């Protein structure tokens, strides 16, 4: 049986009118850095309201060997000069993110997702 992983669910609230730029930033600037720093990408979403319209929330799920591995990966990611440069460039027209939340999730013993 495969070892169980820990998951990190991250929700970013974009500034008004900045959701598309935030999604583009992740697509164009962060995915290769996630790979470089051993952050296993599971899925990315744009939240929608009850009428099916996009909200200002961008949500994604990462997987790690452990919570300590996640902390080490994030430390390396945030210190990466490529991240620093790309993040600064993405905010040339103002900040993209108004707020963020991170929650670690541990699968139950019956979860098919390990």
The Cα diameter of the chain in Å comes to 48
Find the helix packing angle between 81-90 and 67-79, rounded to 10°: 70
Residue 9 corresponds to which tokens in the numbers above? 């669910």
Burial class (CB in 10 A: 0-12, 13-18, 19+), 54: middle
pLDDT tens for each residue of 31-41? 999 999 999 99
Say what percent of the chain tops pLDDT 70.
97
pLDDT tens-place string over residues 41-69:
999 999 999 999 989 999 999 999 999 99
Q: Confirm whether pTM is higher than 0.85.
A: yes
pLDDT digits (tens, 9 = 90+) for 93-107: 999 999 999 999 999
46 vs 94: CA distance, rounded Å: 20
Q: How confident is the model at residue 1 (pLDDT cuts 50, 70, 90)?
A: very low
């Amino acid at each position: 049986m495969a070892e169980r992983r820990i998951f990190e669910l991250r929700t970013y609230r974009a500034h008004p009118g900045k959701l598309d730029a935030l999604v583009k930033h992740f697509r164009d600037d962060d995915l290769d850095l996630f790979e470089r720093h051993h952050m296993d990408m599971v899925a990315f979403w744009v939240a929608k309201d009850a009428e099916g319209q996009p909200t200002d929330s961008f949500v994604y799920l990462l997987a790690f060997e452990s919570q300590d591995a996640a902390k080490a990966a994030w430390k390396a990611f945030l210190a990466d000069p490529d991240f620093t440069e790309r993040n600064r460039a993405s905010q040339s027209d103002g900040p993209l993110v108004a707020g963020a939340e991170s929650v670690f999730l541990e699968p139950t013993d019956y979860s098919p997702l390990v």
